[in-house]
Structure 1
Amino acid sequence: MSQNLFMCVRFKAKPERRDELQARLLEMVEITVKEEGCLFYDLHVDRDDESIFYFFEGWASQGAHDIHGQTAHVQALVADAPGLTVDGIRLEFMHKISPTSH
C-alpha cells in the first residue's frame, strides 16, 4: 500500500514579476487539481509579504507526485522560475503526525 505524500512549495517573486508569478501559479492549480492522485493543491500568499506564495500539496503516493513533476506545466514553471523568483523554488516534504502516531 502506498503512503500519501504531503509537501509545501515556496516561491518568492521578483518584485516586477509578482503578478505574473501569481497568474502562473493560479493556472497550475486549475490544471493540477485534475491530475490523478492529487489529494489537494492549495495556493496561499504570505500574510506579511505578498511576494511569497506557497503551495500546500497532498498526493496519493510518491508515484503520483513523480508523474506530476514530469508534466509540461510543471517543467515550464521550473524552467521559468529563475526569471520569476528571487531564490528559485523551495520544496519541503512532510508527514502528518497525530496523537496516536508517536
Structure 2
Amino acid sequence: MIHVTAAFVAQAGKETQLHSVLTAMLEPTRNEQGCLRYVLLKDKNDATKFLFQELFADQAAFDFHCDQPYFHALLAKLDGLLAQEPEITFFESAEVA
C-alpha cells in the first residue's frame, strides 16, 4: 500500500479559495479504483493549513491518480494560492506482520 500526506499552506486571505480547490478533489479521487482512503483535514489552530491523508492500494493506483485530468487541474489552480510549496510525504507500514 502507498500512504501519502500532502500538506498545503494558503497565502493569507486565500484560505477559502484553497479549501474549495482541494475539496473538489475528494469525490473523483475517492471513486478511483485503488484509492482506499482520501481525506482532507484542516488545522484546528491555523486556518491556512490543510492536509490530505491518502491511501492507495499500490504504486499503479497512485500513478493513475497523478495522471488524472482533475489532478493536473488542481496543480494549475494552486498557483497564487499557496504561501509555500506543498509538502508531499510517502510512508510505508511500520507494523510487524
In structure 2, which of residues 49, 52, 56 is the aligned counterpart of residue 55 of structure 1? 52
Q: Percent identity over the alignment?
A: 30
Post-superposition offset of 1:94 = 0.4
SS of 1:87's equivalent in the other structure is coil
Displacement over 4 Å in runs of 4+: none
The alignment's TM-score, normalised by the length of structure 1, stands at 0.88
* Larger Rg computed on CA atoms: 1
Number of equivalent positions: 97
Matching residue's letter, 1:36? Q
Post-superposition offset of 1:83 = 1.1
Q: Which has the higher strand share?
A: 1
| CA-atom RMSD in angstroms | 1.2
Q: Unaligned regions of 5+ residues in structure 1, if any?
A: none
Post-superposition offset of 1:88 = 2.2
Equivalent residue, structure 2, for 1:26? 23
